[in-house]
Structures are given as structure tokens and as C-alpha cells.
Amino acid sequence: MMRLKFPYGISNFYRIITENYFYVDRSNHIRLIEEAGDQLLFLRPRRFGKSLLLSMLENYYDVAKADEFDKLFGKLAIGQNPTPKHNQYLVMTWDFSNVNPKGEAQQIQQRLYHYINRCIQDFADKYQTLLPINIHIDPEDAIDSFFSMLSAVRQTPYHLYLLIDEYDNFANELMMGRSEINPERYKTLISTEGSLKTLFKTVKSASGGRGLERVFLTGASPILMSDMTTAYNIAENIYLKPYFNDLCGFKEPEVQAVLNQVVAECELSPEYGKEALKLMQAFYNAYCFSDMDNELIYNPTLTLYFLKHLQQHCKFPRQMLDDNLTMDLNKLFYLSRLPNGRAIIKQALNGTPPLTLSLLANRFGLEQMLKNTQSNQFIISLLYYLGILTLDGETELRQLRFKIPNLVVQKLYVEHLFEMLLPQDTKREEVRLLAEEFYQSGELQPICDFMTKRYFKVFDNRDYKEVNELTIKTAFLTVLFNDAWYMMDSETPTERRYADLTLLVRPDFRHTILKNFIFEFKHLKLSHVNLSGEKLKQLSLAELEALKPVKEKLAESKKQLLDYRTDLELKYDNVFKLQLISVVAVGFDRLVWKKI
């Protein structure tokens, strides 16, 4: 069996095919893309395979690659039944992630125009034998250079196919970077005279019989497109269509097939392969990009990261989150600063009640982003486009339901919230050590003491007034989250209800002394125990536990936990010996816990 080569970090289709890298065939979508229209906008979260998709289109349509069609596509689906348009275009690609968005608007415009000029020069060099006239490149005016290029294209029997990658890179960086929002630079870029709006007006003009026939744009969100409606209003949105749900990303049968090959290469047991798939399901699966398609998609970058590590070391990676995705924390940082943003992030993390919308917003621009009050529709929609939420079916009233797709994304939420609540590194390190001790001993009291004496104090007044079981669970989730050792799940479904919080040891650490846990959280208001906060603090743990309302909550929790354990042990074939822990919070002042 030939050893698999995984193209982690490689988005060059030509290289992947000619150098025999692992490739999941998506060429059957080319016909659908042609039929969808001439000007298309396709959105997916960052690091989801969009650049490879554009590279495939470039190689398919490029007239300069006609002699290599069989080598590149002969073994792929489209090669068996190609469309008449293959190898019939002069192709140009713009990747706006190559343009530094920092600095003043004039500097950004200069860098953008220099980049476009370089692309035009590369185009002139590539097609010099086909172009009957020279392209004049104006070093100060890339728009003039572009028109000169179109004049040369019109002298050939071919049309131009323009591929634009990361079209919204400027909007994402200027509006959602870690630093303060800088709307003025963004406004300048998209103003009537701004470089971006002028550039897209030129693209629109070129498609009106001036040599440009097809445009395919990729990005993460529709923000920039909304702000440039008057400049470029001819692109059709295809990102929610069900037949493009799997255009980027891997389906589970595809993942399982290649995983089996890696397991065989490493001479590991089939059981090890099953555990590997469960781990990948928990950390990388569950994206859905159409409300008409229930098939779940794996993040391709993370999947390749895992497979390459497993192949090289014949064991799971300790760190399941690829460092290349940690920049998504910036997006959560931006959203948490919006009115109601933090509340929605907490609700997403808890999963109860589920986030819902009647309609996904597909047009929102700068004005919407800078409003003093933000609608849930805007924030949830933006979280969806950024891949930090995904579609999760519908409610009975056909509202769209959203959830955090997997543990990798959940880690982003937890780290962001934890850093926001405990900005001091020393405090976070202190509680991390307490959590590590708990994983091994099952002794929760030190963490409860930390919560009541230090952690709860950083919650704001609104949290204090509205404290409930979800607030307590959120606090414990942020403190106990550890994806290096555990698969953690909030609101784990069982046969009867949903377990509040489960911590199941990863397969590669089940030989250690780490324990598995199910938590059930309850909350009592101070009025329920007829005590003030000050008097409550004076009670011993034994006196606190003896309070009738506390005893009732502990008994209620015990019954639920025993039911959850039966269901989960059956679900996981009795692999886990589960420790059951009840936590009862009285106000924000005291915590009682009991091991069952």
C-alpha cells in the first residue's frame, strides 16, 4: 500500500495532484458552479479549503493547462464527463489576504494597487504568446492597468475568468481585529472614491462585454459585499445552497476511509481506529452550511492536521486545536464588545436555551456593526459565517437553530470567556492547577472555595442579579475545560434529558489516573433559604448542607445523575467509570457539592 501524503497547509491543486497528495474529489461540483451563474459569492469560515477550491477552478479553466487536462483531472469525477468550458479561459487570481490591511487608508490603497499590478504582470508573462498586444502597467494606477489588460484579452478568442480569494480580508481585519475598531479607515476604503469600491466597480464594468465573463469570490462573511452594493451588486450568493454544503470540507465516510488507511500504516488495532474517529467527531465534525441539508462536515484543515500527526507518530496529537485557528479568538473579542454579545456567547456555550433565528441575515454592513444596540439576528448570523456557530436543524416553528459545532470551537469560547473574566495570568494558572488536582482526586472543594472567594466576584452586577444554574455551570465549564485530557460536553443528550456537564477522558489517556465525571448543577436564591448573604457565609459546610432546600436539591440532582449514568454507560459500552457530582449554589455566595 502506498504511504499517504497529506497536504496540510498546501492549497495548490496542481501540486497536490501531480505530487500524489491525498485529495478528496470535489470536481463534480464544477458543473453545478457553472450552472449557478457567471458572478458568484461563496462564503465559508477561514481555513476551510476555499483557496484549494479556487486553485482547482483555475487549473480546470486555464487555457494554458489544456495539454495537462488528463494528468490533472483524468482520475477525477469531472474528468470522466467534462464541461465544454474546460480550458477555455484566461484566468487571473487575486488573493486579498496578501495585502497588508494595517496603516492609513492611503497606504492600504497603495499596497492594494501594487498587488493588483503584480497580478497583471504575472498574467502578461503567463499568456504572452496568446496576447497580440502588450499590456501597459501604470505603477500609480492599477485600474488603468486592468483596463489595458482587458483590451489585450479582447484581442484573443478567449474571455477572462477572475477568481478573488478572501475578498473581505480588509473588513475582517479593520473591523474585527484584536485592537480597537477602526471604522474610519474602512469607510475610506469603501467610499465612492475609495480603492476597494473603485476596484469592484471596475470588475462590474468589465463584465459588461469588456472581456470579463466569469467571477468567483470567496470570503468569510457578507459584510464587505453589503457595503459595496452600489459598486458590485451582480454576485449571486451560493453559500447556503444544499448542493454546495460539502463543496469545502470532508464528509464522515471520507474521513473514516482515510483514517482506516493511516491506522493500517501504523499497524494499530481496528479498535484504535474507532476511538480515533470518535475523537475526530468530537473535535472537528458537525458543521452544516444549509438549512436544507443535514449532512455534517468536518473542518478539512484540522482533519489533515490530525491525520498527518497520527501518521507520523502513530498516536493522537496532544493539542487538538491547530495553532492556525487561534486567531478566531479576535472575532469573539470583537463580538463580546457588542451590546448583548457576551450574553449570546454565554448562551451558545451553555446550549440552553438554543440560539434560534427566523432568518439568517445575509446583508449587513458597517452601519449595522457600529449600532449601539445589536439585534440577535446580526450577532448570531455573524457567528455562523465565521464558523463559530453552525446550523443545527429547526424548531417546531421552523426557526433555524444554532450550536457550537465541536470541541475545537468550544475551546475558543471558553478561553475567551476565561481570559475576559480572569485577565491575570497568575490567577488562571492557579485555578488550572486546582483543576488538574481535581481530575485525579475527584475532590472539588478547593475549586468551590476559589469560585466563591475569588471567581464569582469578577462577574458583573447583571450576572449577580440573574444568577441561575446556567451561570454556575458556565463558571465551572471555563475552569474545568481541558481538551488535552478530556472530551467535555455541555448539555450532553441522554435517553431522558440532558446532562449538565460531562468530562470524558480522551482515549489516549484512559490508562492514567484521570477520572470521568458527570455534573448536575442546581441553584437556590437567598430567599429560598431565608438567609442573608452575610449569615450564609457564617455557616459551616455541614450546616449549609443540612438546610432543607439544599438537601432537596441534592436529592433531586442525585436522581437525575443516576439516570444519566445508566444512559451514558450504555451509550459508551461501559468504557467509562463515571463519577457523579452534584453542585448546589446558594446565591453567588456558597457552593455545596456531593459525590455520589
Residues 312-342 pLDDT 10s = 999 999 888 776 665 566 677 777 777 777 8
- Of 254-268, 326-340, 382-396, 495-509, minimum mean pLDDT range: 326-340
217 lies in some domain: yes
Q: Could you tell me the pLDDT band of residue 80, with boundaries at 50, 70 and 90? A: very high
C-beta separation of 245 from 297 below 8 A: yes
The yes-or-no verdict on residue 485 having pLDDT over 90 is yes
Of residues 433, 34, 507, 11, the one with CA closest to residue 283 = 507
Q: Is 217 helix (H, G, I), strand (E, B) or coil?
A: strand
Is the same domain home to 415 and 431? Answer: no
Distance CA 115, CA 183 (A): 23
Is the same domain home to 507 and 592? Answer: yes
Ordered DSSP codes for 489-547: EEEEE-SSSEEEEEEEE-GGGTTSSPPEEEEEEEEE-HHHHT--HHHHHHS-HHHHHHS
Residues 21-57 pLDDT 10s = 999 999 999 999 999 999 999 999 988 999 999 999 9
Stretch (H or E) spanning 334: helix 329-336
Is the same domain home to 409 and 428? Answer: no
Pick the residue with more confidence: 26 or 414?
Answer: 26
Q: Alpha-carbon Rg of the chain, whole angstroms?
A: 27
Report which DSSP code applies to 295. -
Report which DSSP code applies to 192. T
Is the same domain home to 398 and 450? Answer: no
366 lies in some domain: no
Half-sphere exposure (Cβ direction) of 575: Cα atoms closer than 13 Å:
13
Torsion sign, CA atoms 338, 340, 342, 344: negative
Residues 275-313 pLDDT 10s = 999 999 999 999 999 988 778 999 999 999 999 999 999
Q: What is the pLDDT of residue 372?
A: 56
1 lies in some domain: no
364 lies in some domain: no
Of 244, 275, 298, the last residue of a domain is 244
Is the same domain home to 181 and 257? Answer: no
* Strand boundaries in 169-211, DSSP class E: none
Of residues 264, 283, 284, the one with CA closest to residue 273 = 264
Domain count, the chain: 4
Of 244, 271, 305, the last residue of a domain is 244
Q: What is the pLDDT of residue 375?
A: 73
176 lies in some domain: yes
CATH number at residue 183: 3.40.50
Q: What is the pLDDT of residue 482?
A: 93
10 lies in some domain: no
Is the same domain home to 541 and 587? Answer: yes
Is the same domain home to 110 and 58? Answer: yes
4 lies in some domain: no
Chain position carrying cell 492599477? 142
Residues 243-282 pLDDT 10s = 999 999 999 999 999 999 999 999 999 999 999 999 999 9
Is the same domain home to 383 and 431? Answer: no
- Secondary structure of 562-592 in the HEC alphabet? HHHHHHHHHHCCCCCCEEEEEEEEECCCEEE
Residues 365-377 pLDDT 10s = 666 666 656 678 8
Is the same domain home to 376 and 436? Answer: no
For 6, 10, 73, 554, 558, the CA distances from 50, given in Å and listed in that order, are 17, 12, 19, 51, 49
Stretch (H or E) spanning 59: helix 50-61
Of 244, 273, 294, the last residue of a domain is 244
The yes-or-no verdict on residue 145 having pLDDT over 60 is yes
C-beta separation of 313 from 303 below 8 A: no
The yes-or-no verdict on residue 58 having pLDDT over 60 is yes
Query: What's the pTM?
Result: 0.90
The yes-or-no verdict on residue 181 having pLDDT over 60 is no
Is the same domain home to 580 and 482? Answer: yes
Q: What is the pLDDT of residue 276?
A: 95
What is the domain range of residue 266? 252-320
Distance CA 200, CA 171 (A): 14
Is the same domain home to 187 and 89? Answer: yes
Is the same domain home to 399 and 349? Answer: yes
| Averaged pLDDT of the chain | 88
336 lies in some domain: no
C-beta separation of 112 from 60 below 8 A: no
